[in-house]
Amino acid sequence: YQRRVHGDEEDGRRFAALQDLAKDLGIDDSVSIQKNVSFADKSELLGKAMIGLHTMHNEHFGTGIVEFMAAGAIPIAHRSGGPLADIVVPHATPETESTSVGFLCVTAEEYANALHCVLTMPSNKRLQMQQRARERSATFSAECFAINFKSAMRSMHMAAKQYAC
């Protein structure tokens, strides 16, 4: 497996630390760390990805996670904030395994277990999870937002008319 990391210029210190760590671990020949990746290149990279790993604690929303899912990468994200409340829903548990769209983790052990699970998952189950993730990501599209916003506004308008003096 090829491991890829991408980000923007602000991530420079993290990139240097990750490059050093990869070298120290002897895996630098199988890790690609890229800065300032264009949207087209990011789309291509995500389209080839099996897993989208996101470790930020209390991410407000998680646009990157939605991008993983839209591209078909199975999200493995921190069990907090937007990923927990809105995005990786439902996440994998023994009860939701057949309906989940990805994994939520807190500890290093949970992340390792989730990575192992995806990497060893039978391809038909992995493809089903990827498809569910793509479908879930569509609920965050501009079109879906517009439909839901208009519906909410109609409901508010009807309620206001009902209670008008």
With contact defined as beta carbons under 8 Å apart, do 89 and 34 qualify?
no
- In this prediction, residue 9 carries a pLDDT of 60
- In this prediction, residue 128 carries a pLDDT of 95
3-state secondary structure of 114: helix
Spell out the per-residue pLDDT of the chain, length 165, in tens. 666 666 656 667 777 888 899 999 999 898 887 777 888 988 899 999 999 999 999 998 889 999 999 999 999 999 999 999 999 998 888 778 789 999 999 999 999 999 999 999 999 999 999 999 999 999 998 898 888 889 889 888 888 878 765
Q: How far is CA 31 from CA 47, 74, 122, in A?
A: 18, 19, 25
Helices (H) and strands (E) in the chain, counts: 7, 5
Integer Cα distance of 65 and 43 in angstroms: 13
Residue 4, strand partner residues: 32
Q: What is the pTM of this model?
A: 0.80
Integer Cα distance of 131 and 125 in angstroms: 10
In the chain, what percentage of residues exceed pLDDT 90?
53
Integer Cα distance of 67 and 49 in angstroms: 11
